[in-house]
Amino acid sequence: MSRVVLGVSGGIAAYKACELLRRLQGAGHEVTVVPTAAALEFVGVATWAALSGRPVHTSVFDDVHLVPHVKIGQEIDLVFVAPATADLLARAASGRADDLLTNVLLTAHCPIIFAPAMHTEMWLNAATQANVRTLRSRGAVVVRPDVGRLTGPDAGVGRLPDPAELFAVAVAVLEDPSTAARAAGQDMAGLKVVVSAGGTREHLDPVRFLGNSSSGLMGWALARTAVLRGAEVRLVAANVGLPAPPGTDVDAVSSTADMAQTMAVAAKEADIAIMAAAPADFTPASSSQTKIKKSGDGGLELSLVQTTDILAGLVAARTDPRQILVGFAAETPGAEETLLGLGQAKLARKGCDLLVLNEVGHNLVFGQDDSQITLLTKQGAIGPFSGSKDTLAHQIWDEALSLRARR
């Protein structure tokens, strides 16, 4: 259980912070809400107090005998400001202390995350961008706003990301506070990365397909964490029913052949390419144009052929010697085999630089929020690491960056 301050500043997106609060509480954390006076114009004290089960103050002059501005800052594990308005970012960047929230920001020893939300012009304004740089230079995590519908009828960059996205960022920072430094340092700025995600579908006829239970969550976590660290991110997604992480470009594909084609083009531009998807290894030798009908009591025999090995194709087509190619291995070792042995053989067979090894089975890994991985390179095994998929995604990027630095 961690102690979190949820700072809320005065934007229309304040209502979305209610769901972030619920998610943090659902994960067992104790959340104290510290709204600004302007935030209370959007969501009132009663809502915050009822949802958090804790008293809610905006001013340093409430409960003065408890010296709340110092006490709160010293006792917490995370401050998450969502939404962070242009005004709040400016006040935080200039070190103002004119309400309880800005006082807490100045006294906190823990990681601080800002999730900005404002109109596009305000976000793109040089003053706001300079404030973001200042806050990052002091170690704060600033989440990239989403693109979409804004308060009025217009659309653009500046939306508060979905609470599920914000929650994933919070969990990774709480599990491993050092991820905050990587995000604040924007250590992937200038890098182009491509990540494949999800499970492909191989159609037997217009309505039936062979598929698998990959949820796409690991690919999503890799994309989200790379955006957070400043990378330009392309996601090649096969049948993932989740909203795209803000700041990513998504190519939707369906079959292994589609994915192979799209990955081949996207990887040409990429500094790092990760095959986190589960492409089908086999596809029907022929696909019927019309729905296959039952005939009498007879069964149906399928004839399958192997699909393209996308990762091996990327390794063969690599022209940039500094490009890092990463594969995943989902293994179920038999009695005579070990997970590590199977992984090492696969690393050698595929010829990639890094293999992320995990054990799969019913309800293990696929669709789960937490997972366990071991990282394999030619130099040996690192790990195992366990935690949320965002925490593990940070570990994978760390290793990919360190391999790249050694090239």
Q: Please list, in sequence order, all residues whose beta carbon lies within 8 angstroms of the beta carbon of residue 53, skipping any fewer than 6 positions away.
A: none
Segment interacting with ligand CTP, rule: CB under 6 A, options 11-19, 305-313, 333-341, 380-388: 305-313
Tokens of 389: 């998929």
Q: Is 344 in the site for ligand CTP (CB under 6 A)?
A: no
Tokens of 55: 């008293």
Q: Which is nearer to ligand CTP, 42 or 328 (CB)?
A: 328
Tell me if 174 sits within 8 A of 78, measured CB to CB: yes
Binder of ligand CTP out of 76, 310, 347, 354 (CB under 6 A)? 310
Least spacing, CB of residue 308 vs ligand CTP, in Å = 6
Least spacing, CB of residue 100 vs ligand CTP, in Å = 48
**Cα 113 to Cα 358: distance, rounded to the nearest angstrom:** 30
Least spacing, CB of residue 329 vs ligand CTP, in Å = 4
User: Around Cβ 69, how many Cβ atoms within 10 Å?
Assistant: 24
Least spacing, CB of residue 346 vs ligand CTP, in Å = 6
Instruction: Please state whether the peptide bond connecting residue 384 to the residue before it is cis, i.e. omega within 30 degrees of 0.
Output: yes
Q: Is 393 in the site for ligand CTP (CB under 6 A)?
A: no
Binders in 282-301 for ligand CTP, by CB under 6 A: none
Least spacing, CB of residue 255 vs ligand CTP, in Å = 10
Binder of ligand CTP out of 311, 365, 393, 403 (CB under 6 A)? 311
Q: Which is nearer to ligand CTP, 277 or 393 (CB)?
A: 277
Q: Which is nearer to ligand CTP, 137 or 306 (CB)?
A: 306
Does 125 participate in catalysis according to the annotation? no
Binder of ligand CTP out of 214, 262, 307, 371 (CB under 6 A)? 307
Enter the DSSP assignment of 205.
S
Segment interacting with ligand CTP, rule: CB under 6 A, options 50-58, 275-283, 363-371, 390-398: 275-283
Binders in 198-257 for ligand CTP, by CB under 6 A: 256
Q: Is 281 in the site for ligand CTP (CB under 6 A)?
A: yes
Q: Is 277 in the site for ligand CTP (CB under 6 A)?
A: yes
Tell me if 343 sits within 8 A of 331, measured CB to CB: yes
Query: Residue 35 region, left (φ>0) first, then alpha (ψ -120 to 50), else beta?
Result: beta
Helices 310-317 and 256-268, axial angle in degrees (round to 10): 20
Backbone Cα Rg of the chain: 24
Binder of ligand CTP out of 80, 167, 328, 366 (CB under 6 A)? 328
Least spacing, CB of residue 351 vs ligand CTP, in Å = 11
Binders in 254-273 for ligand CTP, by CB under 6 A: 256
Q: Phi then psi for 272, rounded to 5 degrees? A: -135, 130
Q: Phi then psi for 128, rounded to 5 degrees? A: -65, -45
Catalytic residue among 103, 125, 131, 212: 212
Q: Is 123 in the site for ligand CTP (CB under 6 A)?
A: no
Q: Where are the alpha helices (DSSP H) in 29-184?
A: 45-52, 68-75, 86-93, 100-107, 120-124, 126-137, 163-175, 178-184
Q: Which is nearer to ligand CTP, 160 or 373 (CB)?
A: 373
Tell me if 227 sits within 8 A of 390, measured CB to CB: no
Task: For residue 195, give the 3-state DSSP assignment.
Answer: strand
Task: For residue 209, give the 3-state DSSP assignment.
Answer: strand
Binding site for ligand CTP (CB under 6 A): 256, 275, 277, 279, 281, 307, 309-311, 327-330
Residues labelled catalytic:
212
